[in-house]
Each structure stands twice: as C-alpha cells, then as structure tokens.
C-alpha cells in the first residue's frame, strides 16, 4: 500500500466498527451500506422489507463484505428492542447507528388524512427517536457511539405536497441537535445528512416528468440529479473517526440546490458559447 493509501486508511477506515442501519434496502441506503462495508465496517441492515434487505446482505457477503439482515419495524418498540438486543448479543456493541428508514406521500395539506399524517410521522420522526433511544442506552454504557440521521432537502427548503414529510424531517434535524447536546458527555456524537434531489428508482418518475424535471434542474446549481454514489463520501466521513470533532450538524449534499440554481442575467465577458 502507498503512503497515501496508508494515511487515508488510518483516517477513514471503519475496520472493526459495528454499524446498524435502518431502512437500508432502498436506493440511497443500499449505496451507503455497501460503501460502509467496503471501508471495513460490519453492516447490519434492519428493514421492514425483509426480501430486499436479505438480498442486499447476500450480495454484500458474496462480495466478501460483512453484512447481515434483521427484521425491523421502527414503529414497533418490541421489534426495535429485539433487533438491538440480537445485535448486542452477537457483536457485543454498536459503534454507529444510521437512521435511514423513511416514507412519504405527496399530497396537499388540505388532502392529508390523519392516518397518513400519523404513518409518516411515526416512521420518519418517532422511529428515529425510538431507535436512537434504544441504541443510545448501549452507547451510554460503552461511553462511545455515533448516530447519523438521514434528513432531507425538505428539512431546510420546501416543495409543494411535502408538508408532513418536511415537518418530520425538520423534526429529525432538531432531534439530532438534541442528541448532540445531551449525549456528548457520554462520548456519543450525532449528525444529520440531508440529501438533495437524487436519482433513485423512486424518484425516476419525477426526473422523467416533462415540467417537474425542468423546474428541478433550474433550482440546482449543478443542473442535474445526484447519483447515490455521490452521497457515500459524506457518510464515510461521518461514520469514521475523521469526523471526531463534528456533532449536532446537518450536512446538505444537494448539488447546490439550497444556494440556488440558474442565475438571472448578469454582466460577464465569460460566455460558454464564446469559449468553444
């Protein structure tokens, strides 16, 4: 290994770390899970969708990575405790918890039924709280731990039809700050990754839409969706000791969506069409 490789491994390696992820069988979650395992972590995938979770774990183990799937509904305290207890029994500790599980239903505020509101909030916010609470008890005893919550572009900016989802993700961001404040004394860090508009199987319909896709590209400085692989740098940094002095923050990985997309006309001598 080169000196560069040795240095990067010493900073970013996840060798020996036990990483528990919720809802990791989806597009972004799967990309993160594979990257974490390739960096040396043992990745434990807790998901309500057992078939995709087992398929992901199987593919990873066939590639020589360390992975295992667990049955987990983040709205069920019995299942949460059973999953966490099983992990502790087998591996002895949990070094990193990544709360990925989340759902959405795009409806106007006046159209949202109470049952829809409850379902989104229970998975996206209450599930993060309950999961972090159960794992946090073990991290307290370890006097170490690292929690990474997955927020959203909608925890800072808003799109029409995402009121409940945006409220839940804003809550996740606030909860992250509370964890950081309360648990730093126990050696536990907590941060939030807020992805922008990424291209996944679920979002493909939006990027194929004749008007919504144009509107999105106009809002994003890089004028394109993100690829799942472009999220892994942030999760690797936050999961590793490279981020040992980082806690309580939300990091937007969004291609420049928050800062703004296509600028209005302005004076400049530099025009792309003139530089060919």
Element (H, E) at 92: none
Place of tokens 């106009």: 218
Alpha-carbon distances, residue 96 vs 135, 142, 221, 258 (angstroms): 9, 12, 32, 28
7, 70, 165, 270: which one is catalytic?
A: 165
165 is catalytic: yes
Which residues are known to be catalytic?
165
């Amino acid at each position: 290994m080169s000196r560069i490789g040795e240095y990067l491994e010493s900073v970013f390696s996840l060798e020996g770390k036990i990483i528990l992820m919720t809802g990791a069988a989806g597009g972004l979650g799967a990309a993160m899970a594979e990257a974490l395992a390739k960096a040396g972590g043992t990745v434990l995938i807790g998901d309500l969708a057992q078939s995709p979770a087992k398929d992901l774990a199987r593919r990873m183990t066939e590639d020589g990575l360390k992975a295992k799937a667990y049955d987990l509904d983040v709205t069920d305290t019995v299942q949460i405790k059973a999953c966490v207890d099983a992990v502790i029994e087998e591996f002895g500790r949990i070094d990193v918890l990544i709360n990925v599980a989340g759902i959405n239903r795009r409806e106007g505020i006046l159209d949202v039924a109470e049952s829809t509101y409850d379902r989104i909030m229970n998975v996206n916010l209450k599930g993060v709280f309950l999961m972090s609470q159960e794992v946090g008890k073990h991290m307290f005893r370890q006097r170490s731990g690292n929690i990474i919550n997955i927020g959203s572009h909608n925890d800072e900016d808003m799109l029409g039809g995402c009121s409940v989802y945006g409220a839940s993700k804003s809550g996740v961001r606030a909860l992250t700050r509370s964890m950081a404040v309360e648990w730093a004394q126990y050696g536990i860090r907590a941060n939030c990754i807020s992805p922008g508009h990424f291209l996944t199987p679920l979002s493909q319909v939006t990027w194929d839409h004749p008007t919504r896709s144009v509107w999105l590209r106009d809002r994003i400085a890089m004028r394109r969706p993100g690829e799942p692989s472009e999220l892994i740098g942030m999760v690797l940094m936050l999961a590793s000791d490279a981020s040992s002095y980082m806690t309580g923050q939300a990091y937007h990985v969004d291609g420049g969506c928050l800062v703004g997309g296509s600028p209005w006309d302005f004076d400049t001598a530099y025009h792309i069409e003139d530089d060919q």
